[in-house]
């Protein structure tokens, strides 16, 4: 339900300390990636998921933090390399790094949140010095098996200092879909300050608030996504720590992301793109309360339409399965109150998730091989950010009369052959 600032009236911005104005409350939610085994059913902990905007620096952020050790631990199940498109995306980034920022003598790149080595593998293959940092031991093990050098720990001041002592300054520090996950973001920027070479860059990419708001991607809001970045809020945050935002480029991945480049203040020229971006954000009022309130109203409408559609299909005897046991799906399922009565199973290609139950509503996660068995009339696509890749894989489904349901930017049935629905 869309709310005013009711639950965390004294919530303070984690960047600048000013007051945060809540604009949407999803209620109590389980940990988004907390997939549970049969024995663990019912033992989950819940926390309040609500989101607000800083009245001063405009950073959009959650009003409650889930401890990092609850989110990221040895058995964290997400594996980046499950998507071919993301593999290509990071390979191409590694390729450009190797030919540009890392083309000097004996360069060093450090990645924060290296997961299963999706980006660093190519760097390692090229024989370039690198360090991955990630507390998720099982994911790090996969990276190590690919020849990637990983430290299983959180990136913060102390680990940054230890890396600097051992390897010297880093030419590039990179982070994808991780920087925004760290509530104590100051500890990361302090660590970057310790570790980065004088003329080095801190490059990070993350889902973009502008796309989330414009396309109603409300399921990007979950415990791990503590901050939803805009170019303006990132620029202000960087300046508070002695860094300058020198570039920002749009990326098509995850429904719309931005790659930001920070450098030490005064060390590099700022690309004119940054100013254009800021003007665009200002013109669209992406952090204006009016825009965020409308976003909240759209979320409520999507919940209503989705539940109505699923109930209607069930009443007509139709069989609907879920596709992609994403962390995003935890927000959708728990906020909408959708359980096995409407979605009896969700297919997912991640071995670590298969055989478990989704957090909170306990829908069984099964391998994609079970998708057609029994043959569903409809599939609800939770992994909408991988729509193209999945549609291509599952052409048989549509050929045999199956239909895809999407809930963003609004609830609709995807017509094959029509333009991509998302991104």
Return residues touching ligand SAH (CB under 6 A): 72, 76, 78, 80, 112-113, 115, 118, 133-136, 139, 154-155, 176-178, 181-182
Question: How far, rounded to the nearest angstrom, does the alpha carbon of residue 61 sit from its chain's CA centroid?
Answer: 13
Which residue lies nearer to Zn ion by CB, 20 or 173?
20
As measured in angstroms, the least distance from the Cβ of 56 to Zn ion is 5
As measured in angstroms, the least distance from the Cβ of 279 to Zn ion is 21
Q: What is the rounded distance in angstroms from the CA atom of residue 219 to the CA atom of residue 80?
A: 18
As measured in angstroms, the least distance from the Cβ of 193 to ligand SAH is 15
Which residue lies nearer to ligand SAH by CB, 86 or 380?
86
Query: Using CA of residue 232, residue 236, residue 239, residue 243, what is the dihedral sign?
Result: negative
By CB atoms closer than 10 A (0-12, 13-18, 19+), residue 343 is buried
Given ligand TMP, ligand SAH, Zn ion, none, residue 57, with its beta carbon under 5 to 8 Å by kind, binds Zn ion
Given ligand TMP, ligand SAH, Zn ion, none, residue 324, with its beta carbon under 5 to 8 Å by kind, binds ligand TMP
Could you tell me if 14 and 185 are in contact, meaning their C-beta atoms sit under 8 angstroms apart?
yes
Provide the strand spans (E) within 79-226: 108-112, 129-133, 150-151, 170-176, 196-207
Which residue lies nearer to ligand SAH by CB, 236 or 327?
327
As measured in angstroms, the least distance from the Cβ of 90 to ligand SAH is 7
Which residue lies nearer to Zn ion by CB, 54 or 143?
54
Given Zn ion, ligand TMP, ligand SAH, none, residue 361, with its beta carbon under 5 to 8 Å by kind, binds none
* DSSP helix/strand/coil, 403: strand
Q: What is the rounded distance in angstroms from the CA atom of residue 63 to the CA atom of residue 10?
A: 10
As measured in angstroms, the least distance from the Cβ of 286 to ligand TMP is 22
Taking each continuous run of H as one helix and of E as one strand, the counts in the chain are: 13, 17
Beta bridge partners of 259: 205, 249
Judged by CB under 5 A, the residue of 31, 32, 53, 57 near Zn ion is 57
Nearest to 201 by CA among 124, 97, 312: 97
Using the rule CB under 5 A, is 54 a contact of Zn ion?
A: yes
Rounded alpha-carbon distances, angstroms, from residue 18 to 10, 53, 54, 289, 347: 10, 10, 7, 16, 43
Binding site for ligand TMP (CB under 6 A): 82-83, 324-327, 348-350, 353, 368, 383, 385-386, 389-390, 393
Using the rule CB under 5 A, is 183 a contact of Zn ion?
A: no
As measured in angstroms, the least distance from the Cβ of 412 to ligand SAH is 28
Given ligand TMP, Zn ion, ligand SAH, none, residue 182, with its beta carbon under 5 to 8 Å by kind, binds ligand SAH
Which residue lies nearer to Zn ion by CB, 16 or 398?
16
Q: Identify the H or E element spanning 296.
A: helix 289-315
């Amino acid at each position: 339900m869309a709310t005013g600032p009711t639950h965390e009236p004294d919530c303070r911005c984690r960047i600048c300390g000013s007051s945060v104005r809540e604009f949407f409350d999803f209620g109590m939610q389980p940990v988004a990636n907390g997939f549970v085994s049969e024995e663990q059913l019912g033992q989950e902990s819940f926390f309040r998921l609500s989101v607000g905007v800083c009245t001063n620096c405009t950073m959009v952020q959650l009003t409650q933090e889930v401890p990092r050790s609850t989110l990221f631990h040895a058995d964290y199940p997400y594996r980046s390399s499950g998507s071919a498109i993301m593999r290509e995306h990071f390979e191409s980034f590694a390729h450009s790094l190797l030919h540009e920022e890392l083309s000097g003598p004996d360069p060093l790149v450090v990645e924060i949140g290296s997961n299963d080595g999706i980006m660093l593998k190519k760097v390692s293959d090229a024989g370039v010095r690198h360090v991955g940092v990630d507390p998720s031991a099982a994911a790090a093990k996969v990276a190590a098996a690919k020849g990637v050098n990983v430290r299983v720990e959180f990136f913060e001041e102390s680990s940054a200092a230890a890396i600097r002592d051992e390897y010297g300054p880093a030419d590039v520090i990179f982070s994808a879909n991780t920087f925004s996950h760290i509530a104590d973001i100051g500890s990361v920027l302090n660590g970057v300050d310790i570790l980065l070479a004088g003329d080095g860059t801190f490059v990070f990419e993350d889902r973009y608030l502008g796309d989330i708001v414009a396309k109603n991607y409300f399921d990007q809001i979950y415990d791990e996504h503590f901050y939803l970045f805009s170019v303006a809020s990132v620029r202000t945050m960087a300046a508070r720590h002695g860094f300058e935002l020198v570039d920002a480029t749009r990326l098509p991945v995850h429904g719309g992301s931005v790659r930001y480049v920070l450098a030490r203040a005064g060390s590099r020229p700022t690309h004119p793109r940054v100013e254009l971006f800021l003007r665009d954000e200002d013109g669209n009022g992406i952090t204006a309360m009016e825009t965020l309130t409308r976003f909240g109203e759209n979320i409520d409408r999507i919940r209503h339409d989705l539940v109505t559609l699923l109930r209607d299909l069930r009443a007509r005897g139709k069989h609907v399965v879920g596709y992609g046991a994403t962390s995003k799906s935890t927000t959708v399922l728990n906020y909408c109150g959708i359980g096995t009565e409407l979605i009896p199973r969700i297919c997912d290609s991640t071995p670590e998730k298969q055989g478990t139950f989704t957090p909170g509503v306990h829908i069984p996660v099964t391998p994609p091989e079970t998708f057609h068995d029994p043959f569903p009339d409809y599939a609800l696509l939770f992994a909408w950010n991988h729509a193209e890749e999945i549609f291509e894989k599952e052409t048989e489904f549509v050929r045999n009369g199956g239909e895809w349901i999407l809930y963003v930017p609004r609830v609709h049935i995807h017509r094959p052959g029509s333009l991509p629905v998302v991104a």
